Structure 1
Amino acid sequence: MMVVRTERPSATICSAKLKQRIHKLPIKRRFKTLPRRIKRILRSEIRNVWANSPIRDSHILYESYSGNGMLCHPEAIFKELLKRDSESKYTHIWVLNSFERYKALTEKYASYSNVKFVKYQSLKYYKYLSVSKYLVNNVSFPAQFAKRDGQIYLNTWHGIPLKKMGYDITGRAVDAKNIVRNFLASDYLLSSSPKMTQQMYLDAFKMKNIFEGEILEEGSPRIDRQFDVKASKEEIEPFLAHSGIILDDRKIILYAPTWKGHDYFNPRNDAAGLRNLIDRLEAQLDTSKYRILIKAHQIVSEAVATIPELREYLVPNMVPTNLVLGITDILITDYSSVFFDFLVTNRPIFFHIPDIAEYARYRDLYIGAEALPGPTSTNVDELISNLLRWSSIEKWPEDIRERHETMLRCYTPDEDGRASARIVDRVFERTDNRSTQSAAYAHGKTKILIYAGGMIPNGITTSALNLLDNIDYERFDVTVLCPYSKAVDQQYNFTQINENARLMFRFGTFNGTYLQNSIRLRVLKRGANSAGASLRTQKKLWQTEWKRCFGNARFDHVIDFSGYTSFWGTLFCYAPAKKRSIWLHNDLAADAHRSISGNTPLKDGLFATFSIYNRFDNLISVSEGLNEINASSLGSWAPESRFSWASNTINETKIRDLASDSRFPPMSIKNGLPILDQATRSGIVSELVATALLPNKTANAEMHKTPADEGYFTFISVGRLSPEKNHARLIKAFARVHRINPLTRLVIAGDGPLRADLEGLIQKNGLTESVRMVGHVKNPYKLMRYSDAFVLSSDYEGQPMVLLEALVLEVPVITTSFGSVAGALPKGVGIVVEPTVEALAQAMLNEAGSPSLRRHFDVDKYNADAMQEFERVVANV
């Protein structure tokens, strides 16, 4: 078989031909042919040019639902401005996510020279987002948005909340991350009433004490058009006719269900349910008198529009909801807050909520079914019965009418058809000279921002969570900053943050040019004294990033609680704060030189962090003893007067709860001795070890028992498998102990870069049956509680939380005398030995032969002292 080889054109020829072909293309087509990385760089360069261009005082950018139409309050405000703007003073830029889908809108305003349209997240979008003086949005701008000085941002939100919002949704703070960021960047937030201000902005999104703008309680602009039914009908008729819906003299029953989340919505299933509902209604109602229309939630409207059997009923998404409400005679809804808008018409509302129990599990409500301002139904027959009996409010039972009137007064007190005019006067015409912040938003507490670390499972995370559980929230307003992550461990730790704190996330990335960000990364690696660090463009880059993350928010005290990377410390250096503190959790000079397989992975990051120490007011070690070490070894980076300490706190209740297990008898202590006999304790540890090693299988303690298991004395050590912990010393010491006392075993919980080396050492010493390495265990407290002694073999430490946790569980502690040990343990507690194999082995032998009494640890007093130290640092601002 003959193989014919063909010559491939040289790369140079291909490149030349490609260049020729690209050169002939239009500019937009040329851009599309570029590699993705080059596109990103060019986009950042172009966006940076616009971010430094003059702000255009006459430009207004409007965005509704991320470009999903000209809708809601922004559309109403636009209409009011356009009506007043007879001389085309303003240029109105509308954001759409599809020009094809909203062709009717672009055609409607084609003759207006001062109305433009831009595609959502296109280059032009970012241009006008950067240069427009006024920004109007009813949800939020994307992650890269950073409001410039001189811009005015009005966030109108998109309705009075019926469903719980923001931090009120338990465990879902992540969902609010971009909304909170946008609210803090806003100069104005729009509210329908004092009730909405308090319930949504100040409480649900925790704007109280941190929002620096003004909340405008002027009513809802989008409701204005509902007061003129004739005008609404004239305006809506062409839109409906375009979709094949011709209005006649029949009364309109509008069904407007809410969006129930991705897990609920399925176009085909929903179509069948909607069609069945319509058929049942039409079969029972007089269709010569009534006609049914559907207004789908804007998130799913496009999908519903593709379903042929619903087309003759579906109001297009481009039609503002309030236009439809203006001509609606009867509203049927479920959990949609659209009913708040309809209240002002004094026409009947019917709530059809067949899945309320299921929905409540997905999304809780502020208002229960018993308080809704209209008749409720849980099946179609009941709905039809309600419609036939109570087709006007006058026919409603008195209790339902009272609910309707109460809701009207509470949530829509100022609706008179003039809300749009008032908002335009306040924001654009500036006829009102009210102060930029109302005293009602502030409560005078000291505002603290804490970067809590990456929230990975480690001692710093535990310390941060404990601190947040012990802070006095009556005195301090606390915001916790975390880097956003989808990792399961981090997501879990986010939910463990005290609910009294305001949880915020950094996500997205820096604006600025490729060169500016390259210099930034170089400085973060080499330190604040390296070339490029003092450039004016670097200062502006960091200031913009601060504003991107926190908008107009200001804090009294910012704290980098992690203290291990220069990034977060540098960001906090640009915070508009009165004081700055950075935490030192370890002997950081020793950490910087820690070697793993000949590498020093922390050196660059820590030395870069040291280089910004002189820009912090406080350098806080986590114990008095550690402070002496750090002040001495790091004194060349900052004045000695700035070094201080604040001990870590402990959460006794949480530790004890996590240590309990209904499968086992309680670990009770009497006169300092465990009531459970050693054989029982040994068996429990065996089962827990089996569970840790085989988490997805039923624990089988027999797999880890030996004939002598009934009497094992168990030593346990919990910590990362890294050099400073010196687990090798512990294993060697245990080898000596086990040779003398075979009824001993060692359990090591933790993971890290030295695991393979330590497993090899265990095998070398013939300890594979008596030493168990169980890896990282999310909840090690059960193992600790039923073990006989806790052992720490570190060369150096800060204040290891695990020692305090062992004391809470009344487990005797043996530890090496690392430099800060005096401040890591309460006085007179624990066995402290020289950091040698011999000393550690002897202490372990003594403990196994004659166990220590288990002493009560006074956690309340310890925490009170620790919080006094913390408040000494942060309260003096």
Structure 2
Amino acid sequence: MAQLSFMSRAHRRLVAETVARSRRLPVRKNTVLYEANSGRGAVCNPEAIFRALMAAPDMSHLKHLWVLEEDCLNDPIVAEFEKAKNVRFIEYKSLEYYYALGTAGYLVNNSTFPPELSKRPEQTYINTWHGTPLKRMGYDVEGGGPDTRNIIKNFLAADWILSPNPFTTETMLRKGYRLDGIFRGKIAEVGYPRVDHQFQGPLGRKQTLERLRASGTVVPAGAKIALYAPTWKGASFYDPLDEMASTAEFVTELQERLGPGWRVLLKVHQRVLAQADAHPELRDRLVPNHIPANTALAVSDALITDYSSIFYDYQALERPILFYIPDYDSYSGYRGLYQEPADWPGPIVTTVEAAAEALLAAPDEAVTDRLRAARQTYNPHDDGRASQRVVDLVFRGKDTGGTVISDFSDGRTSLLLYPGGLLPNGITSSCVNMLNSLDFDRFDVSVAYGHSTKPDALSFLSRIDPRIRLLPRIGRFTTGKKPLEQVLGAEFPWGDDARAPRARKDFHDEWRRCFGDARFDHVIDFSGYGPLWAGIFAAAPSGVKSIWQHNDMVSEVSKEINDSTPHERRLKQVFDLYNDFDTVVAVSPSLCELNRAGLQHYAPHTAFTYARNLIDGEAALARARPRFELQRPQAEAPQGADLRTQVRLLTDAYGGEAVAQAVEFETVLSTFLPPSEDTTFLTIGRMSPEKNQARMIRAFAQVHRENPATRLVMVGDGVLRESLRSLVQSLGLGDAVALTGQVSNPFPLYEAADCFVLSSDYEGQPMVILEARVLDLPIVSTRFASVTDALSDDQGLIVDRSDDALAEGMRAYLAGAVPQQAFDWKAYNAQALGEFLSAVRAA
């Protein structure tokens, strides 16, 4: 096992070095790299384009590299071209593959290249895609943003995207994958090259049948062919369901009902080919992977499918199409369809008996009319010459028909924002509040973040407006021997200067790897804490660039944790990059002046400004105060009713969301703040040195000795939690101080507490003060540089940063001497949003 791990690490290192080295080598402008279905065969649109180029005399100067998985390197096409000096086959994800990916002049793919792709300006990327969509795609699938991560990355890198029809262009590409506003390539509506294979003459049909039989597929002479081509199923492309047992049962029974005059063949999706191979009874019916699906369609007398987009290709022939969908209700519910079954160009059946009857029956005139209309809509360019049009457009630079779209502007201003590490803290909360406050009719908003399935990341994604485009960063950029993340945290190949030429090139290449040729009007590093994203955004080729400061950054550099200053090197790298940004934005006016004084020398020509954080007052109030009392509807339940009955009655009366909020409210309070006559002081924050919660504990100890009917609830987590717990015990406060840890919904605690207390040495603009003000909670805070930007002397009590002063502030609350003022958070938000737009120069 240890040896295997070593070999795996060694291979990853070789791949990293190969990828990095390929970016420094010249691009081979006459080399074309083809990949289809991640190397699972030389098929689909790339295969059709390849054959068109090979047949063109004026393209003889090109060299062709085909990418195949190891199991496909013995496919017949390899033997077919073994003597061709300008054709080679290379193994998918081999070192040679990564070298070719970084140096080939042309890149052709019907799906996606892996995350390592960082297309260079000298390369031309043609993404042919692989079908008119029936199933919802991309962002049109609920929660589909993260699942589309590598697809949108490839689209943004593409110079050309092929589209068979206006429906695919508008519905899938421009809307489903949200290319409008940021795509800088071209979409060519010229038909699908692979459909050219369907327009065979008698000789072509004979050759295809011979290929099928030579591959072990049984096709009796004279028999009609019914091709069954179901789609893959599953909630995610990366995790398809295995339904091959039921598929085998359907094919076998259908054959029995059709009789010897028909032969039922099976063509499965690439994602489930291994599942089909595991069923011996299917092997003599299975169309092999190396025979393109459209070649099999050419010899088929009828097509049976379910939700596969293959029927869009087949309808170009105007032959019978049958839809077998016994699971329509369940399938459409979790995936969704663009076109309702009533509009499909063929009869719909749910049993094998009905399928056989439909195939044997005479064509229905209404169905035939629907098929002809569908062909006109979805196959306007499928005439057998699509491959030639692609060669003319891309390789010859000639326009020979079709529609080319190059303008994807929609009149909105585009913003790209990095929200930070998505931890449960004030930065994330303020980012969510700001994003959801933007005018999406005016702004096209994209969020870039490190892809993650951790609960904190999923929580962030669930809280932001679904109109926001998600651009998850996947894979790692390699500088050679180490990923860029590790380089930034350890040894810098360019030294300590993040603006050195080597650093600039690496960051620029990583921008292209993540965002391709996309352009944004405004690029915003809303975190401002990490050199990786700061470097990537500093390398953006266009747009106004802004970077945020959520704290006293000079103090953050020198902050000690366990006798070390962990942020020092990374933050100094960030400061080195300030000069590449147009604005450096602090979250309060006072903080802006403080950081300007300490850091302006890093960026003498950059504007230091501010934009206060926004607060989601409606969410705070809703999560703090349930819409009804749980006990109230229980009286309506029959005496002795079980919990399930009570929950059902509650849900029927008030709705599931309201019930969930009420249950959450009761759970938080009963767990962390049980009923008591004691006065409750509340504090919320990361347990880190700058928060100085030790001061709060010592101050509370003074107050509690004088007034035992008091308690302190401390919400948060961090590196100092155990030391704070020890301090609580040493002062004999175990029964009076509760350390709750992180609480997903702290708002019921605000509602139930009596006074909010903050003991920080420095802050940015603390969200907790804004939240406390929304919930009308009296506030006592220490006096740090930016406190008055969130709390004035008539809105709360501000005291000196000492144990005694903070204790005196708590006593003031007990005496009723803490001032309080109503907070118009809506007016505040309007002003803060204006500050944000002004700070990023989008006002």
**Common topology (TM > 0.5):** yes
Q: How does 1:666-677 map to 2 (within 5 A)?
A: none
> What is the match of residue 251 of structure 1?
224
Note the alpha carbon deviations across 1:472-519, whole angstroms, 9 max, x for none.
Answer: 22222222110122322223323333222221122222244339x79x
> What is the match of residue 496 of structure 1?
463
Deviation at 1:589, TM superposition (A): 0.8
CA contact (8 A) 2:417 2:524 kept: yes
Question: Residue 441 of structure 1: SS of its match in structure 2?
Answer: coil
Q: Matched residues in 2 for 1:770 and 1:349: separation?
A: 74
Of 612, 629, 635, 2:600 maps to 635
Question: Residue 149 of structure 1: SS of its match in structure 2?
Answer: coil
Q: Matched residues in 1 for 2:246 and 2:470: separation?
A: 39
Q: 1:687 to 1:401 in 2, by over 3 A?
A: closer
CA contact (8 A) 1:255 1:294 kept: yes
> What is the match of residue 840 of structure 1?
806
Deviation at 1:63, TM superposition (A): 0.4
Q: 1:841 to 1:361 in 2, by over 3 A?
A: farther
Q: Matched residues in 1 for 2:491 and 2:574: separation?
A: 9
> What is the match of residue 252 of structure 2?
279
Of 462, 467, 473, 1:506 maps to 473
Note the alpha carbon deviations across 1:515-553, whole angstroms, 9 max, x for none.
Answer: 9x79x9667769999567565444322222221111111
Of 587, 591, 600, 1:622 maps to 587
Please state if 1:472 is matched with 2:439: yes
Q: 1:780 to 1:385 in 2, by over 3 A?
A: farther
Deviation at 1:566, TM superposition (A): 1.9
Deviation at 1:380, TM superposition (A): 3.0
Please state if 1:733 is matched with 2:733: no
CA contact (8 A) 2:582 2:606 kept: no
Q: Name whichever of 48-57 and 463-472 sits farther off.
A: 48-57
Q: Matched residues in 2 for 1:589 and 1:666: separation?
A: 52
Note the alpha carbon deviations across 1:11-45, whole angstroms, 9 max, x for none.
Answer: xxxxxxxxxxxxxxxxxxxx999855444444444
State the one-letter code of the partner of 2:170: Q
Q: Name whichever of 601-610 and 376-385 sits farther off.
A: 376-385
Q: 1:856 to 1:34 in 2, by over 3 A?
A: closer
Question: Residue 549 of structure 1: SS of its match in structure 2?
Answer: helix
Question: Residue 601 of structure 2: SS of its match in structure 1?
Answer: coil
Deviation at 1:203, TM superposition (A): 0.9
Q: 1:87 to 1:580 in 2, by over 3 A?
A: closer
The TM-score with structure 1 as length reference comes to: 0.86
> What is the match of residue 173 of structure 1?
145
Q: Name whichever of 531-540 and 291-300 sits farther off.
A: 531-540
Please state if 1:815 is matched with 2:774: no
Q: Matched residues in 2 for 1:528 and 1:579: separation?
A: 29
Q: Matched residues in 2 for 1:247 and 1:264: separation?
A: 36
Note the alpha carbon deviations across 1:567-593, whole angstroms, 9 max, x for none.
Answer: 221222221023221101011111111
> What is the match of residue 592 of structure 1?
557
Deviation at 1:785, TM superposition (A): 2.2
Q: Matched residues in 1 for 2:36 and 2:491: separation?
A: 44
Please state if 1:805 is matched with 2:771: yes
Q: How does 1:215-614 map to 2 (within 5 A)?
A: 215-228=187-200, 230-241=202-213, 242-261=215-234, 270-285=243-258, 287-389=259-361, 391-392=362-363, 395-396=364-365, 398=366, 400-401=367-368, 403-432=370-399, 438=405, 440-514=407-481, 530=495, 536-614=501-579
Q: 1:205 to 1:100 in 2, by over 3 A?
A: closer
Q: How many residues align?
A: 812
Please state if 1:132 is matched with 2:104: yes
> What is the match of residue 870 of structure 1?
836
Q: 1:343 to 1:780 in 2, by over 3 A?
A: same
Deviation at 1:128, TM superposition (A): 2.0
Q: Name whichever of 826-835 and 273-282 sits farther off.
A: 826-835
State the one-letter code of the partner of 1:465: V
CA contact (8 A) 1:446 1:875 kept: no
> What is the match of residue 94 of structure 1?
66
The TM-score with structure 2 as length reference comes to: 0.89
Question: Residue 804 of structure 1: SS of its match in structure 2?
Answer: helix
Note the alpha carbon deviations across 1:212-251, whole angstroms, 9 max, x for none.
Answer: 1110011111112212253542342233112142352221
Q: Name whichever of 619-628 and 854-863 sits farther off.
A: 854-863
Deviation at 1:640, TM superposition (A): 8.1
Deviation at 1:686, TM superposition (A): 14
RMSD: 3.3
Deviation at 1:607, TM superposition (A): 2.0
Q: Matched residues in 2 for 1:269 and 1:529: separation?
A: 50
Note the alpha carbon deviations across 1:289-340, whole angstroms, 9 max, x for none.
Answer: 2221111111111331232111121111111111111111221111111111
Question: Residue 577 of structure 1: SS of its match in structure 2?
Answer: coil
Question: Residue 271 of structure 2: SS of its match in structure 1?
Answer: coil
Note the alpha carbon deviations across 1:742-761, whole angstroms, 9 max, x for none.
Answer: 33222111100111111111
Q: 1:436 to 1:622 in 2, by over 3 A?
A: farther
> What is the match of residue 670 of structure 1?
none
Deviation at 1:361, TM superposition (A): 4.0
Q: Which runs of 5+ in 2 are unaligned?
A: 633-660
Please state if 1:747 is matched with 2:719: no
Q: 1:687 to 1:350 in 2, by over 3 A?
A: closer
Q: 1:772 to 1:81 in 2, by over 3 A?
A: same
Q: Matched residues in 2 for 1:240 and 1:435: separation?
A: 33
Note the alpha carbon deviations across 1:757-813, whole angstroms, 9 max, x for none.
Answer: 111111122222222111011121222222222221111110111211222223232
State the one-letter code of the partner of 2:420: G
CA contact (8 A) 2:162 2:187 kept: yes
Question: Residue 635 of structure 1: SS of its match in structure 2?
Answer: helix
Q: 1:809 to 1:411 in 2, by over 3 A?
A: farther
> What is the match of residue 695 of structure 1?
none
Deviation at 1:350, TM superposition (A): 1.5
CA contact (8 A) 1:527 1:609 kept: no
Note the alpha carbon deviations across 1:427-450, whole angstroms, 9 max, x for none.
Answer: 111113999994641123322221
CA contact (8 A) 1:99 1:119 kept: no
Question: Residue 300 of structure 1: SS of its match in structure 2?
Answer: helix
Q: Matched residues in 2 for 1:435 and 1:861: separation?
A: 53
Q: 1:741 to 1:205 in 2, by over 3 A?
A: same
CA contact (8 A) 2:797 2:818 kept: no
Deviation at 1:859, TM superposition (A): 2.2
Question: Residue 312 of structure 1: SS of its match in structure 2?
Answer: coil
Q: Matched residues in 1 for 2:113 and 2:66: separation?
A: 13
State the one-letter code of the partner of 1:545: E
Q: How does 1:176-191 map to 2 (within 5 A)?
A: 176-191=148-163
Q: 1:526 to 1:869 in 2, by over 3 A?
A: farther
> What is the match of residue 635 of structure 2?
none
Deviation at 1:564, TM superposition (A): 0.9
Q: Matched residues in 2 for 1:625 and 1:528: separation?
A: 37
CA contact (8 A) 2:679 2:709 kept: yes
Deviation at 1:262, TM superposition (A): 7.7
Q: 1:221 to 1:508 in 2, by over 3 A?
A: same
Q: 1:102 to 1:804 in 2, by over 3 A?
A: farther
> What is the match of residue 654 of structure 1?
619
State the one-letter code of the partner of 2:257: Q
Please state if 1:151 is matched with 2:123: yes
Q: Matched residues in 2 for 1:316 and 1:842: separation?
A: 82
Question: Residue 757 of structure 2: SS of its match in structure 1?
Answer: strand
Q: Matched residues in 1 for 2:335 and 2:516: separation?
A: 29
